[in-house]
């Protein structure tokens, strides 16, 4: 189904098919291996994205148009690579540029990393070479610029113990920065280079395995480890990481997964920092010790009694400690998940699961914190305040889905999802007789029901219906915040009819309605701000016509009515307005959004695809002001957006994508929206 | 199949009966909805007719919030909320004022709800305690009072309309301190 039809039919979803898959941990899968390095292929990739050029007409001089480049981004990477039986050489040249005139920001990033390795030297199972990693980052804001460069240079050595690779690396590192550069490149001079600040040091590292192949042949055990240390006067750092994955089939036929990962980081990061209107400074993060550990076990069963079960448990812990500051934190989490699905032989398909997560967030975990504030010079107020942020959380999520369809396409399904997120802040301290604590203890409970049915399915026509009810509850426990408690209810209903009168012609009409209702648990605290209320009614009529095998025409006509405002119920009303006795929906604004999109899509030869079309749009927007609905321009009038997009594959190693849109409006500024991506291998 | 259905129904009933999806009993409110750091002023102290309707900071900040400091380091919603909790706990009487930085900057009255909206730069001032010194600008005659705790800065903000909550949320916040500071008072790593 093409893009337009898929957009129309987005509200009609199949339920009960793979709901349980969303709960299965992502760690229990071996990542795809690295792309093989061709011996002679190098690549150039260039992309220009998010280009926004706005043309603005000067009302005093209508013949003149000022063009402003609002946003622009480009990423470019040229990689030259030569891989022979004796040598491997790689040199990259990367340049990323980001311009955002909305916030007055320019950013340049340059990377000239490379490596040269002599294979089978000095032994058959070793390789020796050199690596270099020069990086440069220049940040320009409205009134000042700063730059920072870092260079790693040093030897590398690989030792292959069978298929198990071991890499050693080390060398010198230089950190150079300048905190007061000119805004424009043409004003740079040698004096700026002489005024630079710098820091010199050394680094070393070791890497074990690569996680894409078993550590031991014929044993399904994958692992990877690394260690890195850098000695810089201002930014010493040491880091280690280790991870392993075991997956195997047990004698019963079920699949067993075991995963563990651990990482440790000690030291500082260095960066430029500054303040608006003042000079920039080179500063570092505080010295910290950061540790992460993840471990998990999973079991996926073979089909039994028409069911496929799965079970998983994982434990995660993260801690960061600052030896010279208050701010150490430790977060731990236990997760248990149980999934169940019917196998493919069942006429009635079911899938579902339930997951539990128990979290604990412990601030200032390295010391025992009292509950009484000290006095005088030993005031411990900062420690007590940080300790208030301790919290415990329990999340439970349950999903169920069931569906059945006949061979003729009739049938339906039902899905149910409910989740609970509970947080508790147990800590407090006493100061001058007052008890101080956070009041963010809260429960968030979300539930959703969706029912879909195909009520008619006889060629060339089929009709599908769907209804959805969502209820979201936010409930703060303590009196200081319980005034924020609210319940949101969302109602959705959609009917879609698909008609295929000819093999190459399809029509799709969808109509639907949405409503969102909010209610506060304690209305008396919202007399001046009643709860929001919103409604939407829409109709979408579209289709596709395949003129030829490689040429199609698409169209879409969409009308969307949207209003939102507030529910003026009696419980939210100021009692002085006694003359108003009925509840009503106070519509604050309403709009009718009309859209027509026509496009054609065709192939030129077999490797160039062209899409061209135009979008026509009008928004009729009214706002309630001074007891009447007045038309607001919304800063837009009638608009037309023609576009052309070309995608081509020139050869096995080159492809290009170009897209040009022109936004034309009777009121707002016109602008160009351009995107270009080029990828070349040679 | 009947066995599976029965087992599934029984599990569902048992789980729901355990009260896992039932909220706890709540206390009657004693305080109205609060915005101690004055974020509502970001829109109310400008020409915009839009307003933040959800002022609970859990709802006001978008889940994908990105807070960026002048060095380009970014922080997420959890880190920012942690700092805001520290500020409001340590300084319950703190005052904040937000206003448009450039007085002649034209502010949009209505904001496009289809995507992120960039506001004109806002400047803010945070203060509490007793005044320490008052300085009078001889050129303009304006007086400026400094306080025991007194921090200023400028913020570039992007807002995103949340259709799920039918409310504006803060989606991007680029913060820069003014005065003699390396990091902003709102910065997650701020320390005196």
**Sign of the torsion formed by the C-alpha atoms of B102, B108, B111 and B112:** negative
Which DSSP symbol is given to A86? S
Of residues A496, A491, A603, the one with CA closest to residue A549? A603
CA dihedral A262, A265, A271, A276 (to 10 degrees): 80
| Residue ranges of E strands in A329-460 | 329-342, 349-363, 391-405, 411-424, 429-431, 434-436, 442-458
A174 in contact with B, Cβ within 8 Å: no
CB contact under 8 A, A396 and B21: yes
Q: How close is the nearest chain B Cα to the Cα of A85, in Å?
A: 43
Of residues A407, A360, A363, the one with CA closest to residue A386? A363
- Whether residue B186 is contained in a domain is answered as no
Largest CA distance in chain B: 89
Determine which of B63, B72, B111 to mutate to test the interface with A (most A C-beta atoms within 10 Å): B72
CB A270 within 8 A of CB A235: yes
Q: Which of B25, B28, B89 sits opposite A436 (nearest CB)?
A: B89
- Residues 162-181 of chain B with CB under 8 A from chain A are 165-167, 174, 176-181
A480 in contact with B, Cβ within 8 Å: yes
Total-model pTM: 0.77
Q: Which of A283, A445, A532 sits opposite B182 (nearest CB)?
A: A283
Residue B140 has pLDDT above 70, yes or no: no
Measure the CA angle with vertex B13, ends B11 and B19; round to 5°: 110
CB contact under 8 A, A483 and B27: no
Q: Which of B26, B112, B154 sits opposite A477 (nearest CB)?
A: B26
Domain harbouring B42, CATH code: 3.10.450
B74 in contact with A, Cβ within 8 Å: no
- Whether residue B21 is contained in a domain is answered as no
Distance in angstroms (rounded) separating the CA atoms of residues A292 and A317: 6
pLDDT in tens, B71-81: 677 888 988 99
**Mean pLDDT, 10 residues at a time, chain A of 682 residues:** 37 36 59 55 55 47 52 78 86 84 77 91 89 86 76 90 83 82 71 77 86 73 86 81 83 84 82 50 71 90 80 92 79 92 76 92 84 77 87 93 87 93 92 86 94 91 95 92 90 95 93 92 84 91 89 94 85 67 82 92 86 89 81 68 88 78 75 72 56
Q: If you measure CA to CA, which chain A residue comes closest to B83? A: A386
- Residues 421-450 of chain A with CB under 8 A from chain B are 422, 436, 438, 440, 442-443, 445, 447
A273 in contact with B, Cβ within 8 Å: yes
Query: Which carries the bigger pLDDT value, residue A237 or residue B142?
Result: A237
Q: How close is the nearest chain A Cα to the Cα of B55, in Å?
A: 9
- Residues 45-64 of chain B with CB under 8 A from chain A are 49, 53, 56, 58
Please tell me the predicted confidence (pLDDT) of residue A381: 83
Q: Phi and psi for A530 in degrees, rounded to 5?
A: -65, 165
> Which tokens sit at A350?
């079911």
> Burial letters for B69-91: b for 16+ Cβ neighbours within 10 Å, e otherwise?
bbbbbebebeebbbbbbbbbbbb
Please tell me the predicted confidence (pLDDT) of residue A395: 94
B32 in contact with A, Cβ within 8 Å: yes
Q: Phi and psi for B80 in degrees, rounded to 5?
A: -65, -45
Determine which of A99, A135, A273 to mutate to test the interface with B (most B C-beta atoms within 10 Å): A273
A612 in contact with B, Cβ within 8 Å: no
Q: Which of A104, A281, A473 sits opposite B182 (nearest CB)?
A: A281
CB A226 within 8 A of CB A207: yes
Q: Which of B27, B71, B178 sits opposite A272 (nearest CB)?
A: B71
Of residues B82, B135, B141, the one with CA closest to residue A390? B82
Q: Which residues of A touch B44 (CB under 8 A)?
A: none
Q: Which of B11, B89, B181 sits opposite A385 (nearest CB)?
A: B89
Q: If you measure CA to CA, which chain B residue comes closest to A416? A: B12
A212 in contact with B, Cβ within 8 Å: no
Distance in angstroms (rounded) separating the CA atoms of residues A490 and B164: 9
Q: Which residues of B touch A483 (CB under 8 A)?
A: 29, 31-33
> Burial letters for A487-519: b for 16+ Cβ neighbours within 10 Å, e otherwise?
bbebebbbbbebeeeeeeebbbbbebebebbbb
CB A84 within 8 A of CB A109: no
Q: Phi and psi for A407 in degrees, rounded to 5?
A: -65, -25
> Which tokens sit at B87?
């500020």
Cis peptide before A460 (omega within 30 of 0): yes
Q: What are the percentages of helix, strand and coil residues in chain A, rounded to 5?
A: 5, 65, 30
Q: Which residues of B touch A147 (CB under 8 A)?
A: none
Q: Which residues of B touch A273 (CB under 8 A)?
A: 69-71, 182-183
- Whether residue B188 is contained in a domain is answered as no
Q: How close is the nearest chain A Cα to the Cα of B47, in Å?
A: 14
Note the ipTM here.
0.76
**Polymer length in residues for chain A:** 682
A283 in contact with B, Cβ within 8 Å: yes
- Whether residue B191 is contained in a domain is answered as no
- Whether residue B6 is contained in a domain is answered as no
In angstroms, the first-to-last Cα distance of chain B is: 66
In angstroms, the first-to-last Cα distance of chain A is: 36
Q: Is A125 exposed, middle or buried (0-12, 13-18, 19+ CB in 10 A)?
A: exposed
Please tell me the predicted confidence (pLDDT) of residue A26: 65
Of residues B171, B164, B88, B165, the one with CA closest to residue A440? B88
Please tell me the predicted confidence (pLDDT) of residue A1: 34
Distance in angstroms (rounded) separating the CA atoms of residues A27 and B112: 40
Q: Which residues of B touch A350 (CB under 8 A)?
A: 4, 8
Q: How many domains does chain B have?
A: 1
Q: If you measure CA to CA, which chain B residue comes closest to A324? A: B191
Q: How close is the nearest chain A Cα to the Cα of B132, in Å?
A: 22
Q: Phi and psi for B108 in degrees, rounded to 5?
A: -65, 135
Which residues, other chains included, contact B48 with Cβ-Cβ below 8 Å and sequence gap of 6+? Answer: B107, B108, B109, B110, B111
Distance in angstroms (rounded) separating the CA atoms of residues A167 and A158: 4
- Half-sphere exposure for A145 (CA within 13 Å, toward CB): 17
Q: Which residues of A touch B33 (CB under 8 A)?
A: 483-484, 525-526, 529
Q: B158: helix, coil or strand?
A: strand
Of residues A313, A314, A315, A317, the one with CA closest to residue A332? A317
- Whether residue B69 is contained in a domain is answered as yes
For chain A, how many helices (H) and strands (E)? Answer: 3, 34
**Residue span of the structural domain in which B134 resides:** 32-178
Provide the H-helix boundaries in A417-554: none
pLDDT band at B171 (very low <50, low <70, confident <90, very high): very high
Average model confidence (pLDDT) for chain B? Answer: 80
- Whether residue B15 is contained in a domain is answered as no
Of residues B105, B103, B124, the one with CA closest to residue B173? B124
- Whether residue B80 is contained in a domain is answered as yes
Please tell me the predicted confidence (pLDDT) of residue A31: 57
> Burial letters for A34-71: b for 16+ Cβ neighbours within 10 Å, e otherwise?
eeeeeeeebbbbbbbebbbebeeeeeeeeeeeeeeebb
CB contact under 8 A, A386 and B70: no
Provide the H-helix boundaries in A217-273: none
CB contact under 8 A, A389 and B85: yes
B120 in contact with A, Cβ within 8 Å: no
CB contact under 8 A, B53 and A398: no
């Amino acid at each position: 189904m093409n893009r337009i039809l898929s957009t129309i039919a987005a509200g009609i979803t199949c339920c009960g098919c793979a709901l349980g898959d969303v709960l299965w941990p992502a760690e229990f899968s071996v990542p795809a291996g690295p792309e093989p390095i061709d011996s002679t292929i190098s690549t150039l990739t260039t992309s220009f994205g998010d280009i926004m050029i706005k043309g603005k007409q000067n009302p005093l001089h209508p013949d003149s148009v000022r063009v402003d480049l609002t946003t622009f981004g480009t990423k470019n990477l040229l990689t030259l690579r030569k891989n022979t039986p004796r040598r491997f050489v790689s040199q990259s040249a990367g340049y990323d540029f980001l311009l955002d005139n909305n916030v007055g920001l320019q950013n340049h990033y340059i990377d000239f990393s490379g490596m040269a390795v002599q294979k089978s030297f000095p032994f058959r199972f070793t390789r020796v070479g050199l690596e270099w990693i020069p990086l440069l980052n220049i940040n320009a804001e409205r009134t000042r610029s700063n730059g920072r460069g870092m260079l790693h240079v040093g030897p590398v050595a690989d030792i292959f113990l069978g298929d198990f690779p071991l890499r050693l690396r080390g060398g010198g590192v230089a950190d150079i920065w300048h905190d007061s550069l000119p805004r424009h490149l043409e004003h740079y001079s040698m004096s700026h280079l002489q005024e630079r600040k710098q820091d010199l040091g050394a680094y070393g590292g070791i890497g074990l395995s690569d996680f894409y192949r078993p550590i031991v042949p014929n044993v399904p055990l994958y692992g990877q480890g690394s260690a890195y240390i850098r000695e810089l006067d201002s930014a010493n750092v040491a880091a280690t990481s280790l991870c392993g994955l075991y997956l195997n089939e047990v004698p019963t036929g079920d699949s067993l997964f075991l995963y563990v990962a651990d990482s440790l980081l000690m030291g500082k990061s260095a960066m430029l920092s500054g303040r608006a209107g003042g000079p920039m400074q080179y500063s570092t993060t505080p010295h910290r010790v950061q540790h992460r550990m993840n471990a998990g076990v999973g079991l996926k069963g073979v089909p039994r009694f028409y069911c496929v079960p799965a079970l998983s448990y994982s434990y995660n812990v993260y801690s960061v400690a600052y030896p010279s500051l208050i701010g150490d934190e430790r977060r731990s989490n236990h997760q248990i998940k149980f999934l169940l699905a019917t196998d493919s032989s069942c006429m009635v398909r079911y899938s579902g699961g339930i997951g539990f997560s128990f979290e604990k967030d412990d601030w200032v975990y390295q010391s025992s914190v009292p509950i009484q504030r000290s006095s005088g010079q030993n005031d411990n107020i900062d420690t007590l305040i940080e300790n208030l942020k301790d919290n415990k959380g329990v999340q439970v999520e349950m999903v169920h889905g069931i569906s059945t369809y006949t061979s003729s396409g009739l049938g339906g399904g039902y899905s149910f999802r409910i989740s609970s997120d509970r947080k508790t802040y147990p800590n407090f301290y006493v100061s001058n007789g007052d008890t101080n604590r956070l009041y963010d203890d809260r429960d968030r409970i979300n539930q959703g029901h969706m029912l879909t049915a195909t009520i008619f399915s006889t060629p060339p026509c089929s009709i599908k219906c769907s209804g959805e009810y969502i209820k979201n509850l936010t409930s703060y426990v303590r009196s200081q915040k319980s005034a924020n408690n609210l319940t949101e209810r969302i109602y959705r209903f959609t009917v879609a009819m698909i008609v295929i009168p000819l093999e190459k012609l399809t029509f799709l009409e969808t109509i639907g309605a949405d409503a969102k209702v909010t209610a506060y648990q304690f209305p008396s605290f919202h007399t001046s701000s009643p709860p929001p209320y919103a409604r939407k009614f829409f109709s979408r009529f579209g289709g596709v016509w395949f003129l030829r095998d490689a040429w199609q025409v698409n169209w879409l006509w969409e009308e969307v009515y949207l209003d939102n405002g507030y529910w003026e119920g009696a419980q939210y009303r100021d009692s002085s307005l006694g003359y108003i006795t009925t509840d009503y929906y106070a519509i604050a604004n309403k709009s009718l959004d009309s859209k027509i999109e026509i496009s054609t899509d065709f192939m030129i030869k077999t490797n160039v695809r062209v899409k061209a079309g135009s979008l026509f749009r009008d928004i009729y927007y009214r706002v309630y002001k001074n007891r009447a609905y007045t038309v607001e321009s919304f800063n837009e009038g009638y608009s037309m957006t023609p576009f052309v997009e070309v995608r081509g594959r020139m050869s096995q190693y080159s492809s290009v994508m170009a897209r040009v849109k022109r936004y034309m409006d009777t009121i707002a500024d016109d602008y160009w929206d351009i995107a270009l991506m080029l990828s070349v291998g040679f | 199949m009947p066995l599976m259905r029965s087992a599934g129904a029984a599990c569902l009933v048992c789980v729901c009966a355990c009260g896992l999806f039932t909220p706890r009993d709540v206390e009657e409110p004693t305080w109205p909805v609060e915005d101690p750091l004055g974020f509502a002023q970001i829109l109310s102290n400008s020409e915009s007719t839009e307003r933040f309707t959800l002022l609970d900071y859990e709802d006001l900040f978008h889940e994908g919030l990105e807070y960026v400091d002048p060095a380009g380091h970014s922080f997420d919603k959890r880190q920012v909320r942690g700092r805001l909790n520290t500020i409001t706990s340590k300084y319950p009487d703190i005052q904040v004022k937000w206003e448009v930085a450039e007085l002649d900057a034209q502010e949009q009255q209505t904001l496009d709800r289809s995507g992120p909206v960039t506001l004109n730069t806002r400047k803010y001032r945070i203060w509490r305690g007793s005044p320490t010194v008052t300085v009078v600008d001889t050129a303009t005659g304006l007086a400026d009072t400094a306080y025991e705790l007194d921090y200023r800065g400028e913020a570039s903000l992007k807002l995103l309309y949340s259709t799920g909550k039918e409310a504006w949320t803060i989606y991007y916040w680029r913060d820069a301190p003014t005065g003699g500071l390396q990091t902003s008072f709102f910065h997650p790593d701020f320390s005196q």
